[in-house]
Amino acid sequence: MKPFEEPVRPTETTLLDRAGNIAVVHLPGRAFPGVHIQGDTLSVLRTQLADAARVLREAPGEADALDELDYAVAELNDLLAYYERVLARHGMRRPY
């Protein structure tokens, strides 16, 4: 059975923090918390990256595509900074 094909079962998680469409949660059995991102937010980020990659394959150096990449990286930087703040607030070390 693939990981995504496992039957759904109730699991207690620890919600460390929530901000809009993003939450930091600690799953049982995991050494470190993870980040939960709403599906629509994740889809938008993936689309930005995929579109920029497609355009850059066709026109290397295309300014709009590079701007999209910069925007996506900035979003990921914000997400990572949020994750790190939550860990620090709970006295937890980073997994990296």
Question: pLDDT digit string (tens) for 58-74?
Answer: 999 999 999 999 999 99
Say how many CA atoms lie within 13 Å of 39 toward its Cβ. 0
Confidence (pTM): 0.85
Beta bridge partners of 36: 23
User: Cβ(35)–Cβ(23) under 8 Å?
Assistant: yes
Q: Which helix (H) or strand (E) holds 39?
A: helix 39-58
pLDDT at residue 5 tops 90? no
Report the pLDDT averaged over residues 10-28: 95
Residue holding tokens 């049982």?
28
Burial class (CB in 10 A: 0-12, 13-18, 19+), 93: exposed
